Structure 1
Amino acid sequence: MSPIQFAIIDSTLREGEQFCKANFSSDDKVEIARELDAFGVEYIEVTSPCASPQSFRDCQHLAQLGLQSKLLTHIRCHLEDAKKALDTGVNGINLFFGTSSLLREFGHGKNIDQIVAMATEVITFIHQQSPLIELRFSTEDSFRSSFSDLLRVYLAIDRLGIITRFGIADTVGVATPNQVFNLVQTLRQCTDTDIEFHGHNDTGCAIANSYAALEAGATHIDTTVLGIGERNGITPLAGLISRLYTLDPEQLARKYRLHQLLPLHQLVAARVGISIPMDHYIIGEAAFTHKAGVHTQAILNNPKTYEAIDPGDFGLKRSFLINHKLTGKHAIAHRANELGLCVDQIQLQIIAQKIKALADQQQLTLDHIDEILQSSFGDQTNQNYAQLEPLAGR
């Protein structure tokens, strides 16, 4: 299948709440949920209603907002958790159970047979109470679990004929893209049920692993805005969007409201008290900023030469840095045109060399460059480049 045929489960209001600087108020959650909905994510996952009394009330309130995105809550595979989740009115319930030997020994203390028995009981109960609710069952710490244990659990649950989606979780971010591909592909060969991938970013592989999951047949990917979450977080929403954009930008633009990506990130960044990283995918300050002379020349001729993503599709603009020693005459000509100045190639060459020489001596700003251009080209009848002085002390 084409990797574009998938759904995003955004977990900013669940996994993102586990980010070290996150402390969302009830109003924050509503505002973020509305922005996620405006962007067009198919699912919004929220913190378990069992986490606290306010978490329960927030879950109920978010379920009543009438969003286009489906609301999911994430709970332990316990009957009491399931009962509380059903009382919130969410569209779906995401169940998980740790299957690695580490979690079985030092976490919940259950063996594989007990995991299957408990999961069967809870899944059957939820289905009896609410037959139309979406149900996901995920193995936690999937990539440090025995492959045979994973299959025993998945196949036993699959035989119930109840589950909407199976989850595979790289809980501590140790998986490689090849490992993710192989596990998802194997599970896909064993079941027709949808497959969800949840990838942590501890080793910097979350986006690559998510894409590998899609290539192997996964249907749902978990993300958060800015990639926030436990420790180093999970697959960042903008990073996944940038990866998929290069495959089919038109189809992605039909699927999501791409212009909403920046305001969504600005909102979440403000609510958790951090700045958007300057090199963040698509919406970072540096994402469409060009500096080297050869790059700017080519970009001005055809943006596709050095841009795989069109900033205009996201309501953004590219920019050119010219206040440095790597600048070139094409970038300077572009700025001169923006200032309404008429220049020729000889003039540009002289000014380019002057800017490079000045940049070797001092830090320049765009105002410095504009002043050089204005003084050089402002009076077209009186050009005197040799008299340009360094902008020392400014």
Structure 2
Amino acid sequence: MSKTITILDSTLRDGEQGEGISFTAQDKLKITRLLDEFGLHYIEGGWPGSNPKTDEYFRLVKKEKFKTAKIVAFSSTCRAGRPAKDDPNLQNLLAAGTPVVTVFGKTWDLHVKDALKISLEENLKIIDDTIRFLKNHKKEVLFDAEHFFDAYKHNPEYALSALLTAQDAGADRIVLCDTNGGTLPAEIQEIVGAARAGLKTPLGIHTHNDAETAVANSLAAVAAGATQVQGTINGYGERCGNANLCALIPSLQLKMGRQVLPPKKLAKLAALSRRIAEIANLPLHNQAAYVGHSAFAHKAGVHVSAIQKNSATYEHVNPELVGNKQRVLISELSGASNLLYKAKTMRIALQKDDSQTKRLVQKIKALESAGYHFEEGEASLELLLQRMLGRCRPLFELISFHVTNEKFDEKELIVEATVKIKVKGREIHTVADGNGPVSALGRALRKALTADYPQVRNIALSDYKVRVLDGRSGTEAKVRVIIESRDSRKTWGTVGVSTDIIEASWHALVDSIEYGLLK
């Protein structure tokens, strides 16, 4: 059994079929470069002739040179009643100019009879004619056996005859597809084993995630003899998505001992996942295996105490192997171990049994109980520790602030903020407008601080989130505001809580600016 597994990435074809995803040709080119730099073996670019954007991509990608990846064009077998040499889809496939082509064909007798409405024998001739035509044009041909697992369960003899036809026609690899995504791992392993026993051609696996088993199914297929895995970055794809390569690749390499990528490449996985999520303009799921922000995050005090002694106690792999990092969260579930760990990363020395440490833990738990959430507001946590330990003083003192909103008829809303603060013993009074109350407050505060702290010009708000903490209280509910800020070097998060959204925003805003200036 081969220890080497090749990967075919279908983010640009299957992945783009996911709801809410639309790549430009330039986006696709950018992703192709990222995937090649990461070290993937095959990149499926799309279906030539299906739309102008995909055709533009294939024109552009011809001019590129890649280190590891082969570009793949995708299409169907020729249509019934028309020889392969005259089929427009196959002509478009050749025109794409890729070294590798994928064609999918029917293996389920139900589809042959009800969808194509042709005889079972005619379908086999279509598969044979298509593959021979493409091989005559010197292409590496991957045959996607569409709906193969459903086909095998309904008519194993015919399903296998379709694979044998593809093999005899010269297919370089036969890819077994769980197109409906409803097969379970035990079935996958059994059926792949049966296909492998009757074939000499290498097998691949292509799974969908409709039963939340796409990754497990792909691993089961490899255990049964498949030597190529197909999927998408972050599991993007139609309906419930495709097999997630960000979970599959490390599981294959770190768990199953298969050779997929050099270790230095694997260590770039988390960064790749985030980068492609940004291009897709989709949030990255925090709990995503291996690459998620929370994948190696620890909250319970018992867990943190254990990982400080040996990280293997609560981490299934070293997070650095996939480019992620260990994180310790501070919350009402935290004990002294969490605080000591976090303080150490902030270069604050605390002792476990010290009364000061116990006082800090109690304060943090009280704030979390009141609605504060330091997991996304770590800058506020650091300021809290520094203040309670007497290591920093507020850079200014609030005297008052005032925000007004005015709207006349259908004209644009006018928002104005007035801020009165004391800085180094002087009272400063400023006014600024903005496109909302937080924007106006931020501008007024920066205006007041600029003379004494010119660095404040470099601090910008990059994200703003509001969470209602008790929906049952209606408009009297507490809200939690998270502000993400940045300068030229780093990004940080701060938190504020109040029954008034403006006051909560003010607390988070003040922490944001003080943290940025202190750093």
TM-score for the superposition, normalised by structure 2? 0.68
Q: Which residue of 2 aligns with 1:73?
A: 73
| Aligned pair partner of 1:156 in 150, 165, 169 | 165
Higher mean C-alpha displacement, 258-267 vs 290-299: 258-267
Deviation of 1:249 (Å): 7.7
Q: Distance in 2 between matches of 1:325 and 1:53?
A: 54
**Is the contact made by 1:17 and 1:47 (CA closer than 8 Å) also made in structure 2?**
no
Residues 255 and 289 (structure 1), Cα distance of their counterparts in 2 relative to 1, 3 Å cut: closer
Q: Which residue of 2 aligns with 1:209?
A: 217
Look up the SS of the partner of 1:222 in the other structure: strand
**Is the contact made by 2:5 and 2:259 (CA closer than 8 Å) also made in structure 1?**
no
Q: Distance in 1 between matches of 2:312 and 2:260?
A: 18
Higher mean C-alpha displacement, 167-176 vs 304-313: 304-313
Q: CA offsets per residue over residues 295-317 of structure 1, 9 Å max, x none? A: 11111111111111222223332
Residues 344 and 124 (structure 1), Cα distance of their counterparts in 2 relative to 1, 3 Å cut: closer
Q: Which residue of 2 aligns with 1:268?
A: 276
Q: Distance in 2 between matches of 1:44 and 1:230?
A: 18
Q: Any residues of structure 2 matched to 1:194-343 within 5 Å, and which?
A: 194-247=202-255, 254=262, 257-322=265-330, 324-343=331-350
Equivalent AA in structure 2 for residue 31 of structure 1:
K
Q: Distance in 1 between matches of 2:314 and 2:119?
A: 53
Q: Distance in 2 between matches of 1:290 and 1:245?
A: 25
Deviation of 1:290 (Å): 0.9
Matched, 1:192 2:200: yes
Q: CA offsets per residue over residues 281-337 of structure 1, 9 Å max, x none? A: 222221121101111111111111111122222333221111x22101112112233
Matched, 1:374 2:386: yes
Q: Which residue of 1 aligns with 2:143?
A: 137
Structure (1 or 2) with the greater helix fraction: 1
Deviation of 1:195 (Å): 0.5
Q: Which residue of 2 aligns with 1:40?
A: 39
Look up the SS of the partner of 1:246 in the other structure: helix
What is the aligned length? 378
Equivalent AA in structure 2 for residue 182 of structure 1:
E
Q: Which residue of 2 aligns with 1:50?
A: 49
Deviation of 1:378 (Å): 4.3
Residues 24 and 376 (structure 1), Cα distance of their counterparts in 2 relative to 1, 3 Å cut: closer
**Is the contact made by 1:15 and 1:228 (CA closer than 8 Å) also made in structure 2?**
yes
Structure 2: gaps of 5 or more residues: 79-83, 392-495, 499-506, 508-519
Deviation of 1:251 (Å): 5.3
Deviation of 1:174 (Å): 1.0
Equivalent AA in structure 2 for residue 374 of structure 1:
Q
Higher mean C-alpha displacement, 336-345 vs 29-38: 336-345
Look up the SS of the partner of 1:346 in the other structure: coil
Residues 363 and 113 (structure 1), Cα distance of their counterparts in 2 relative to 1, 3 Å cut: same
Look up the SS of the partner of 1:159 in the other structure: helix
Q: Distance in 1 between matches of 2:194 and 2:257?
A: 29
Q: Distance in 1 between matches of 2:71 and 2:141?
A: 12
Q: CA offsets per residue over residues 148-182 of structure 1, 9 Å max, x none? A: 1111111233233x110011110010111111111
Residues 360 and 43 (structure 1), Cα distance of their counterparts in 2 relative to 1, 3 Å cut: same
Residues 253 and 7 (structure 1), Cα distance of their counterparts in 2 relative to 1, 3 Å cut: closer
**Is the contact made by 2:235 and 2:243 (CA closer than 8 Å) also made in structure 1?**
yes
| Aligned pair partner of 1:356 in 344, 347, 365 | 365
Structure (1 or 2) with the greater strand fraction: 2
Deviation of 1:22 (Å): 2.2
Higher mean C-alpha displacement, 274-283 vs 177-186: 274-283
Deviation of 1:357 (Å): 4.2
Q: CA offsets per residue over residues 72-107 of structure 1, 9 Å max, x none? A: 111110122223212222111111112224422442
Q: Which residue of 2 aligns with 1:5?
A: 4
Residues 251 and 297 (structure 1), Cα distance of their counterparts in 2 relative to 1, 3 Å cut: farther
Residues 288 and 76 (structure 1), Cα distance of their counterparts in 2 relative to 1, 3 Å cut: same
| Aligned pair partner of 1:167 in 168, 175, 194 | 175
Residues 114 and 354 (structure 1), Cα distance of their counterparts in 2 relative to 1, 3 Å cut: same
Equivalent AA in structure 2 for residue 142 of structure 1:
F
Equivalent AA in structure 1 for residue 29 of structure 2:
V
Q: Distance in 2 between matches of 1:289 and 1:54?
A: 40
Identity level (%): 29
